[in-house]
Chain A
């Protein structure tokens, strides 16, 4: 190679100069690109197309990845937003429930100003044995609930008496339970008696109003309320209505069968009377 350039270098330089001049002259007089340029670009065109295609493919992949990542993060954000909104809806539903309960409580408080301190509670369990009629509530000693507190429904009708309390629960014996006994009065006639659960009537959801005078003039449908005598329970809480009146075995007194105002099976929420004012 060294010898070739040394021997023919001058000729090579001369040939290159001639070709250059010829190309320059041809490009001046030609209306299109020079044949060499044309040939070079024609040869390069497929390669150019190929690497453009490859670059395009990579570009597409990159854009796809970018889009997917963006969509995933957007999806994640939307999911989070949806979960937050669902949580808000749940809280709103709970607040609505509570609001309804508090409105009822407020309404009851306005009707019965003597019931100074009441606690709203939900029923967590209905009767658990066939020998008692009881309810379990979700409020207990931490809420100030005590044994012998009266329990009423949203209309102010008596449900029963608290028989047991724990930290966050209490058991209520309903009006029809055999261990329930409270002073009662017939609203229309002011006849006094004792409303007591009777085992034979418990299954039918009824109770007895005992110790009425033999000559009492009760009618079916007469309203029976708590007497409040002895100041043990609040007065004028509705117990139920008279269904029938019968003479007892001795014939010296009569008793009435009462239908409670409350439907114990359908109850879901109640109010516990924690303290009350004595109305004279």
Chain B
């Protein structure tokens, strides 16, 4: 159990790492197109730190990431990521607590779940708007995941470093 100031310090470090990833996405990643898609790091930011934390904290952190994504990214549905990312965070946290130990494999699995949820929800929205495109949507999700998956390694290292720095005596 961490003391209050240690808890504040930990979440401040998580926030700083997340801000760094937001910066990398805006400054570098969204200018790169591979296989017709740009690497999309935001689902990683909901899933990977969540895999190191307990479900409630993970969901709250992912919710905050989702709110920021909705504020910064254009989209037809105003609270798309706010609704979706807490679920993705919760899934990643539950996965690390029950099936896979927190680490690269767990992060990759959590990321895959986050991308799948995002893609399916996008397709659902298109379908609800009378513009169903399940095939194209799921293929885009697959390409998006494949292009972004290698970034799981540095992002996982970053959050693992934060976790280890703040849990020295665990």
Contact = CB atoms under 8 A, between A and B. Distances in A.
A163 B74 contact: yes
Chain B: interface size category: 20 to 34
Interface stretch (A197-205, A217-225, A267-275): A197-205
Contacts of B7: none
Interface in B1-52: 26, 30, 36-38, 40
Contact of A198 (B72, B75, B131, B135): B131
Contact of A127 (B26, B38, B72, B76): B38
Nearest to B126: A199
Contacts of B133: 198-200
Given A199-B137, A203-B136, A178 B126 contact: yes
Contacts of B73: 128-129, 132
Contacts, number: 51
B144 interface: yes
A210 B37 CA distance: 27
B137 A164 contact: no
Interface residues of A, number: 19
A253 B14 CA distance: 55
Contact of B131 (A125, A132, A134, A178): A178
A130 B74 contact: no
Contact of B140 (A125, A128, A131, A179): A131
Interface in A95-147: 125-132, 134
Nearest to A178: B131
Contact of B144 (A130, A134, A163, A164): A130
Contact of A179 (B76, B122, B136, B143): B76
A140 to B, nearest CB: 14
A52 B67 CA distance: 86
A179 to B, nearest CB: 5
A237 interface: no
B131 A130 contact: no
B75 A129 contact: yes
Given A130-B38, A130-B140, A199-B126, 5 more contacts: A128-B26, A128-B73, A131-B75, A179-B76, A203-B140
Interface string A17-52: 000000000000000000000000000000000000
Contact of A134 (B40, B74, B126, B140): B74
A128 B131 contact: no
